Structure 1
Amino acid sequence: MAEITNAIYHGQLLPGSRVPSVRTYALNNRVSLNSVKTAYRLLEDKGLIFARPQSGYFVCESLPELKDFLPKIVESNILQLSGMDNLLAIILEYQREGRYIDLALACPVGESFYPLNRLRKLTTKIARSAATFTPSYTMPAASPKLSTQIARRGVQLGMHLCAEDILITHGTMEALNIAVRAATCSGDSVVIETPSFFNLYPMLEHLGRKIINIPTHPRQGMCLDSLEELIIDQNIKAVITIPSGHNPLGFSMPIENRRRLAEMAARHHFAVIEDAMYAELQFTTPVIPNIKAFDKEGWVMICASYTKTVAPDFRLGWLEAGRFRKIAHQMKFTTSVAESSLLSEILGEFLENGSYDLHLRHLKRLYVRQIDTVRACIANSFPRGTHVSRPQGGFILWIEMPKCVDAIELFHSAIKENIICMPGVVCSRLVHFSHCLRLAVCFILDQAHRHAIKRLGELACIQYNDKNNTYHDSDEFSL
């Protein structure tokens, strides 16, 4: 299977060309017919080949990846935050009802995504310990074991962290909130990638920070040349970035860009707030070091959590705030004081003795398969001219449909059929991305989800065809 996959990816087997028959491949490679049939079915699931009755297998048309776009940010093209917040509230409301197929939220669902059996055993073991339940309040340093394990794991991502400096938070969102408040003041300018994690917009607005959108490349990350210009023109106090498995574009920022950003922060004295939620879910080997690995003067603040990989309901995250660590610890104490010592101890024990690296390898293989399968579904169902990201980590796809397709209109059409999707404008606040969708692939790929993706594509095709009866737009488009 790897031989055919590589031949397709390297252009040796072109779209439409015939691949060796099952019998021929089995004879040439001295393997059983059943093994070849199984391998070909997997290649079909990945959308690389298709069967033509009584003719054999052929290479599929390739699904175009995202183009190189670095949009110019125009103030008049920025949508009202209140309108996008309302749309997000509608998505959450439908998601809570439980009768909708959720393709929008990046919240893994199902036992395939979490080490639940191991967690159950550890929870029982630790809960029986009398030392776990003490007649006193939990203070911020609730679990030295958890902090130590976070620092230990940081070495694999190029960081040298001190356990005493690590602040345990209520998920990544609280870590981001504290980091912004510690490094900036009300009215300060904060730069974010465009598009980006949708929750950054309401968070920064509620904190009274000025949001500066920066052009972002779908494979390289934020445009650092544009950032240099912004630093000169405006008083930038912080930059928020998701350099690994970016949400929603899926890229992993190249190592030279990470080093350059850390050096820029030190030179111009602004904070880099690194969201490393997906850093351990990079598909490359070896993994690319975090930006924090290149931080020499404490200007890089890094945060992450284990809600997407180990224990979603624990809501345990962490923050290493660099030169801002003292004020960050004070802010944690004056808001939510501390996290549960019981849950922190369970997670710390799992990271120490729970085969976390084995679980991560399983997750990476699972998400690579999921991404390939969903991209194949999109290729078969969405309008011609659709482009889709190929993530280098994580489990989120960014879909660019032809420009005549309105993603918000598609959202309302899908809701009528009990399907939830996320329009790209929720992740950008820019009309520039009104034809885009963010789609998570962290669900069990059962028949219901496959049908939902297929139906979403059909609805996009209906809208595309209806609008092209009125005016014509090229299938190929650039951003």
Structure 2
Amino acid sequence: MDELTTSPRYQRLADELAAAIHAGRLPSGARLPSLRQMADQRKVSLNTVIGAYRQLEDAGLVIPLPRSGFEVAQRLQVPQRSLRDVPSAPTAPGQQAMMARVLAAQQRPQVLDLAFAGPRGAAFYPGPHLQRATAQVLRRGMATVETYARQNGSQALIRQIVQRGPRLGLHTVPERIVLTHGAMEALQLALRAVTQPGDAVGLEAPSYFNLYPLLASLGLQAIELPTHPQHGLDVDALATLLDTTTLAALVVMPTVHNPLGCTMPVAAKQRLAALASARRLPVIEDIVYAELQHTEPLEPLLKAFDREGWVMVCAGFSKTLAPDYRIGWLEGGRFSERIALLKFHSSGAESRLLGDSVAAFLEAGNYEHHLRRMRRLYREQTGRVRQLVAQHFPPGTLATEPTGGFLLWLEIPGVDTGQLFEQALAEDIVFMPGQVYSRGARYRQCLRLSCCQALDEHYVAGIARIGALARGLAARDAVPC
């Protein structure tokens, strides 16, 4: 049954009003009908309207007015262009040094961590259900902990991955799946399968920061490609580059990009898949956030349009289900046999106990319910943080409207986020400065915020403080010499 017909009335009303706000039919400052007026108009109960308005307020889409109802909140503008073509001097050492400082700061217990892209807290993971699934596996027999796991030892999990694939347009077979130690190992194996030291690899810009040291460790050269903050990778720019430059592989996140949160339109994915096939270009598709799309039905993967196996898919359950289990997987397409051999030679096999535990949770049918709840929660939380940014950051700040996940990408004109990072860190607040997402300094006015923890008073105060510091830097730099 379609979720739209089974969701509560207050949720359907909230979704309808949210769509009107996003489309501009309810502009900033517009007053919503009073609770009783809306109840009369829609022929619903007062409690239904209260629940809907509360959802919109939690998502940062409306704000309450003292004794005057609700109005549509101020809306941040979204970034409109890629910054890839902005001149920028190479800063690879600076990129690595900044990342090291972020990692060191995250170890300090008193720090408010707005950088880590990992949900924290019982509200974000189905811990008790997963615990019961793990106990169930152990009760079946101790053989799972008394013997070495063979490669792809959890056949139950592989079956679940194959069965779930069509939800995202992935139609595959067990022989093409390799279980890995998280999605990062999947990325590494895919790169090793199709590259040699000295090769060039295409990356989106901005791109996931861990890709740069990963490529360096494999002796590979990163070639950055322009990526639009709303539409993703520029396929035309890639096609032009391929006319003059040989790429051994392309690494992309076309469905819920990190850090931009955007999803490529279906037509662009089709063009990219056709281009990869025509140019015989191996494409590594990272889909770790794809199941956390904010709307349903889910947009299909790039892999859905791959007809000849040139697209490999890297995924895992760390963002959605079990971060410490470190269960990832790789669908290797035409490179599956080589990937399986590389996995055997490098790290052997993954824990069958943990794999079977995840499989048992999936088999019980709880995962879809959990994902639907997370999609709605992250949509609300990113909306709420966007509203906090609108309240506290300098005028002219831009913020993405992510299509999924829990990350926000900000552009703050006139503010060096490296300096902002230092000031915030001195007050025990850490975020991801933009320069770690590229070898150059073109993103020095950008930053990434994570919205995957409780938005409590401590979190809200931290956002407000970063905004105040940013306003101070903007005012200082605006003063004529």
2:90 maps to 78
1:36 to partner: Cα distance: 4.4
1:459 matched to 2:457? The reply is no
Structure 2: how far apart are the matches of 1:296 and 1:35? 47
1:69 to partner: Cα distance: 2.7
**RMSD value, Cα:** 2.0
Conservation of the 8 A alpha-carbon contact between 1:73 and 1:215: no
Of the three residues 339, 342, 348, the one matched with 2:353 is: 342
Q: TM-score, normalised to structure 2's length?
A: 0.92
2:284 maps to 273
Q: What secondary structure, in the 3-state scheme, does the structure 1 residue paired with 2:340 have?
A: helix
Write out aligned runs for 1:360-371 (5 A).
Answer: 360-371=371-382
1:23 to partner: Cα distance: 4.7
1:48 matched to 2:68? The reply is no
CA 1:61/1:135 → structure 2, altered by over 3 Å: closer, same or farther?
A: closer
1:239 matched to 2:259? The reply is no
Q: TM-score, normalised to structure 1's length?
A: 0.93
Q: Deviations over 1:361-381 (max 9, x none)?
A: 011011111111111111101
Conservation of the 8 A alpha-carbon contact between 1:66 and 1:400: yes
How many residues align structurally? 468
Q: Deviations over 1:217-263 (max 9, x none)?
A: 11211111111111111111100000111001111111111121111
1:100 to partner: Cα distance: 0.8
1:59 matched to 2:69? The reply is no
CA 1:256/1:405 → structure 2, altered by over 3 Å: closer, same or farther?
A: same
| Structure 1 range deviating more: 31-40 or 167-176 | 31-40
Conservation of the 8 A alpha-carbon contact between 1:224 and 1:261: yes
Letter in 1 for 2:28: P
Unaligned runs of 5+ in 1: 472-479
Q: What secondary structure, in the 3-state scheme, does the structure 2 residue paired with 1:124 have?
A: helix
CA 1:27/1:94 → structure 2, altered by over 3 Å: closer, same or farther?
A: same
2:214 maps to 203
2:8 maps to none
Write out aligned runs for 1:16-415 (5 A).
Answer: 16-29=29-42, 36-37=49-50, 39-53=52-66, 56-69=69-82, 71-72=84-85, 74=87, 77-80=89-92, 82-133=93-144, 135-402=146-413, 404-415=414-425
CA 1:100/1:26 → structure 2, altered by over 3 Å: closer, same or farther?
A: same
1:4 to partner: Cα distance: 4.4
1:136 to partner: Cα distance: 3.7
Structure 2: how far apart are the matches of 1:16 and 1:223? 35
1:149 to partner: Cα distance: 0.8
1:129 to partner: Cα distance: 2.7
| Structure 1 range deviating more: 234-243 or 82-91 | 82-91
1:442 maps to 452
Structure 1: how far apart are the matches of 2:157 and 2:53? 44
Of the three residues 22, 28, 52, the one matched with 1:15 is: 28
Conservation of the 8 A alpha-carbon contact between 2:196 and 2:220: yes
Q: Deviations over 1:119-151 (max 9, x none)?
A: 111111212232533654222121111111111
1:432 to partner: Cα distance: 1.4
CA 1:52/1:162 → structure 2, altered by over 3 Å: closer, same or farther?
A: closer
CA 1:128/1:37 → structure 2, altered by over 3 Å: closer, same or farther?
A: closer
1:429 matched to 2:439? The reply is yes
Conservation of the 8 A alpha-carbon contact between 2:83 and 2:443: no
Structure 2: how far apart are the matches of 1:133 and 1:12? 57
1:6 to partner: Cα distance: 4.3
Letter in 1 for 2:174: A
Letter in 2 for 1:412: E
Structure 1: how far apart are the matches of 2:380 and 2:251? 30
Structure 2: how far apart are the matches of 1:117 and 1:392? 29
Letter in 1 for 2:460: R
CA 1:305/1:466 → structure 2, altered by over 3 Å: closer, same or farther?
A: same
1:477 maps to none
Unaligned runs of 5+ in 2: 1-12
Q: Deviations over 1:5-26 (max 9, x none)?
A: 4443343443334333345445
Structure 1: how far apart are the matches of 2:142 and 2:52? 52
Structure 2: how far apart are the matches of 1:240 and 1:418? 34
Identity value in percent? 43
CA 1:293/1:17 → structure 2, altered by over 3 Å: closer, same or farther?
A: closer
